[in-house]
Structure 1
Amino acid sequence: MSSPAAASPPAGSYWNGMDGEGPDTAIAVLKAVRDFRRIDAAMRRRTQAALAINETDLLAIRHLIKAERAGESIGPTELSARLGITSAATAKLLARLASTGHISREPHAVDRRAQIVHATPRAHQELTRALGAVHQRMIDVAEDLSIADRRAVVCFLDAMGTAMTGGDTARAKRS
């Protein structure tokens, strides 16, 4: 006779110990999150293919554009920290993105030895062409939610981020 701990979960039961398979269950929510993440990953792969860049390159361009919109300047060291890669990997990444026309570099206004990195107009145009329509559709979906539903979604996603990072939401929000 086998112990309960040794018993195998039923086929297709990814989340052990959870009851119910209906559309109103926690399992249904987690399956929807999993499906969304799969679709999001596919969208990122399509974008990378359209821009002929890899995942880290795309993340770097996104960080540069986000910083630009916030009025921040980013140098290679800050970009390394945001991407979680070494300075050597960042140097290769910046050389690659400069050679493809996705970034430009300029000397820092105060410390002329340091560099500031910017996404080029070409990078902005390519991202807009690759993602503009899907981003607008995503905004439309979010705008169709009631204020209460928007708050519930934000609260849920923040709590999921906390659960997935073991409580380190600052790390999750930087990504």
Structure 2
Amino acid sequence: MENNLAPMTVGEKIAEAEYEGNLEYLQEMIDKGFLNPLEITPNDKWNYLHTANIWRPSPLATIRFYLDKGVEVNAQDCYGMTPLHYALRAGNADAAIALLEAGADPNIPNIDNLRPLSMAGYTKDRLDVLELMLKNGGNVHNIINDNETILESWKPNSVSSQWQIDIYELMKKYA
């Protein structure tokens, strides 16, 4: 059977290398001038820390690679999303921790007022992510919708799962 697929573009190869954690290839592309780690996409305003978790989670090595290259950890895209928003949405706890350790702010709202701290449920099996957000100044009293704080939004009710209760209890310690 004949392969009629077009060959991968350099951009596609870079994306594949990100998701595979192929740092040698990424560095080679930098050295050859095909990859500028500080580049920001013109329309969406994504940097490489944003794109590392947009379509699927990248390994920790890729996140650290871009952090070491000086990619802005709190950059907001056209939606107001930071790399931390995307790491949490992807359920990439290790990436979220690396971003937080590099200074990611868990309080930055996107255009819909969604803050990384309020996204704790995306990494519900890793309360260490929530705890680090709280230790790094995550404010459970930020208003997120209809005059409700992040803490109030997590208040358990009769149908809450244990993980929801655990998130609320941990947030309460920092209230």
Give the TM bin, normalised by the shorter chain: under 0.3
TM-score, normalising length: structure 1? 0.28
Which structure is higher in helix share? 1
Larger radius of gyration: 1
TM-score, normalising length: structure 2? 0.28
